[in-house]
Amino acid sequence: MKVSVFDYGAGNLHSLIKTLARDGARVEIETDPSAAARADVLVLPGVGAFGHAAARLAPGLADVRAALADGLPCLGICLGMQLLFDASDEGEGEGLGLFPGRVKRLEGGRVPQIGWNTIEDSDDPLLDAAPVAIAYYANSYVCHPDDASCVHAWSAHDATRFPALVRARRTVGVQFHPEKSSTAGVELVRAFLREAAR
């Protein structure tokens, strides 16, 4: 299985690549979004800022949208999940729009939210296969879908409840970092790859 990790040019992807390659997947870093969309699995990592990442994605936006519509399995992590939405208050640029809605600044006492937080009200096969009860977050922005039926798990920061996991067919977005969420988080990535292989 060829897994393309789309590189926004924003940070270290080592722990994510190590997690993805754990069961023998061939992981490639790809800076061309159109080429990334031709893999068996696309991963949008969680490092960077929306405006910069959207600019890097823009040349292949139509190709990635078409691939997702055709059933390309995709895992969006943190910023990668946010790129699955229409747009963000964090910066200019267009997201993939797979989930109608906007990314907005997280409200609460201490922002960014950095550290462990609980996963609540989960009803997704990935969280059945890998029951992640707590996960590691590092985020200042959260997704606000127009239709909450895409949300399959939630978290809360102070009084703000926000989507922890969204899904549209074979595309899954998680606001947390599974590759940094201990054994259960790693197992969630493995469960996603097993699902993608079917």
At 128-141, the pLDDT tens digits run: 999 999 999 999 99
Q: Mean per-residue pLDDT for 50-67?
A: 97
Res. 175 pLDDT band, cuts 50 70 90: very high
Q: What is the CA radius of gyration of the chain?
A: 15
188 pLDDT exceeds 90? yes
pTM of the model: 0.96
pLDDT at residue 130 in the model:
93
- Cα 152 from Cα 108, distance rounded (Å): 22
pLDDT (mean) for 145-169: 97
- Residue 96 near residue 83, CB atoms below 8 Å: yes
**In the block, which residue shows the tokens 């992807």?**
13
Taking CA 124 as the corner, what is the angle to CA 120 and CA 129, rounded to the nearest 5 degrees?
Answer: 100
pLDDT (average), residues 31-49: 96
Residues recognised as catalytic: 78, 177, 179
Q: Which domains does the chain have, with CATH numbers?
A: 2-197 (3.40.50.880)
Mean pLDDT of the chain: 96
Q: What confidence tier does 108 reach under pLDDT thresholds 50, 70, 90?
A: confident
Give 166's strand partners: 151, 173
β-bridge mates for residue 17, sequence order: none
